[in-house]
Amino acid sequence: MKTTPNRLQTHWELVKEFLQKEWPRITDFDLQEIDGEYDRIVLKIKELYDGPIWITQEAGIKDRLQKFLNGLDGIL
């Protein structure tokens, strides 16, 4: 049974560019592993940016992604 894609998956190509701009340590290989899954995004950012709380807090990551996706919805 196929599930309906979420907004991250629907806009995945644009989200990948956004993620690498916001968190430059994320590689193309990381993005392949993440594959549009929110939980994987958060885990990867926490792994790559171990330390600075303002970068790795899930609420902050979610907020940045939401703002980006909301902007896409207004354009597309």
* Residue 35 DSSP code: T
Greatest Cα pair distance, the chain, in angstroms, is: 40
**pLDDT band at 1, cuts 50/70/90?**
very low
Q: Which domain holds residue 11?
A: 7-75
The verdict on residue 2 lying in a domain is: no
Summarised one tens digit per residue, pLDDT across range 18-28 is: 999 999 999 99
Task: Report the distance separating Cα 27 and Cα 44, nearest Å.
Answer: 10
For residue 49, being part of any structural domain is answered with yes
Within-domain flag for 41:
yes
Give the count of domains, the chain.
1
pLDDT, one tens digit per residue, over 32-65 is 999 999 999 998 998 888 766 666 688 888 889 9
* Rounded-to-integer distance, Cα 41 and Cα 63, Å: 13
Query: Which residues, including other chains, have CB under 8 Å from residue 36's CB and lie 6 or more apart?
Result: 5, 6, 8, 9, 12, 15
Enter the DSSP assignment of 3: P
